[in-house]
């Protein structure tokens, strides 16, 4: 189907164990906002998968980075079968050095990095996240590492690379888009009292704005999207438990249920594209009315 290229080191280093699968693009007849641009998407399911498909379909050379090789390979195979350009690397992005390794490999293989969508993250319930009086220190640390530390390390690696790049025809060096959550600014304690997760996403909001301010003179844009409950593996509880599903349908009246990943990717692609060349420091709620809907809750 394609050739494997070394993703963990400079070409010719036989010690590398990580591989990308690359598939040749055949130039689809769709808007090509990302033609000639190199895009990194962290995560390999849900919103990340839908975004990788969209960026590739619009001409981007997409690299997917995630911990689960089976998901990465399946996604890249699917994108390749559609005739687009994709590659993957397996990594735990919360570990020191992994984001740097991937970004270095991208720069070595493709010459630059134009767009980054930081999607990877997840719920900390299994670690012990919950209301503060019930949450554990271990749950707090694990949840912030999963959502905040990994994103910080990718942002750091991407910013370092982008600062070294020539400016593109728009006068910019790159764009970074971070994944927030509507719960960080519009909490709903009835079924979503995961305080470490909300704190991590709130930190991402602040990081997005402070990065945007600092890097704007350098031609690097930084924005975030903040979805409400979206049909992803993380939202399985919301999709399957009748009480939670009914609550979400009330809180998200524009769609009458869970958002689909495709509701997110249009805005994500816009914010990463040259059409948003004058937009930075924004956190965009994509919530189907969540923040505006006064749903009843148990006050006991």
Query: What residues are labeled active site?
Result: 197
DSSP structure class, residue 199:
H
Cα dihedral 117, 122, 127, 132 sign: positive
Beta-ladder partners of 177: 117, 223
CA dihedral 158, 161, 162, 166 (to 10 degrees): -160
Exposed/middle/buried for 256, CB within 10 Å: 0-12, 13-18, 19+?
exposed
Contacts of 171 (CB under 8 A, 6+ apart): 219, 277
CA gap 162, 258 in Å, rounded: 36
Angle at 16 between CA 10 and CA 19, to 5 degrees: 90
Strands (E), the chain: 3-6, 19-22, 38-42, 61-66, 86-90, 115-118, 174-179, 220-227, 283-286
Measured torsion, CA atoms of residues 88, 155, 226, 84, in degrees rounded to the nearest 10: -30
């Amino acid at each position: 189907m394609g050739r494997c290229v070394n993703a963990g080191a400079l070409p010719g280093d036989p010690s590398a164990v990580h591989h990308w699968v690359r598939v040749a693009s055949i130039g689809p007849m769709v808007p090509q906002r990302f033609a000639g641009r190199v895009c990194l998407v962290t995560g390999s399911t849900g919103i990340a998968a839908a975004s990788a498909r969209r960026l590739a379909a619009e001409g981007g050379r997409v690299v997917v980075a995630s911990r689960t090789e089976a998901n990465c390979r399946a996604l890249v195979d699917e994108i390749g079968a559609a005739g687009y350009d994709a590659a993957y690397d397996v990594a735990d992005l919360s570990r020191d050095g992994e984001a740097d390794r991937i970004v270095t490999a991208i720069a070595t293989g493709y010459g630059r990095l134009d767009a980054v969508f930081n999607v990877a993250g997840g719920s900390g319930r299994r670690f012990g996240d919950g209301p503060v009086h019930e949450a554990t220190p271990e749950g707090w640390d694990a949840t912030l590492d999963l959502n905040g530390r990994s994103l910080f390390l990718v942002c750091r690696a991407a910013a370092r690379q982008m600062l070294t790049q020539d400016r593109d025809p728009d006068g910019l060096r790159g764009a970074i888009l971070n994944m927030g959550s509507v719960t960080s600014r519009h909490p709903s304690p009835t079924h979503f009292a995961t305080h470490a997760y909300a704190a991590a996403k709130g930190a991402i909001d602040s990081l997005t704005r402070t990065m945007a301010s600092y890097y704007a003179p350098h031609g690097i844009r930084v924005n975030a999207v903040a979805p409400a409950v979206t049909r992803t593996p993380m939202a399985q509880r919301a999709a399957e438990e009748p009480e939670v599903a009914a609550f979400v349908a009330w809180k998200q009246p524009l769609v009458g249920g869970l958002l689909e990943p495709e509701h997110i990717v249009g805005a994500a692609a816009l914010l990463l594209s040259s059409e948003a060349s004058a937009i930075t420091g924004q956190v965009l709620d994509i919530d189907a009315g969540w923040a505006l809907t006064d749903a009843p809750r148990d006050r006991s």
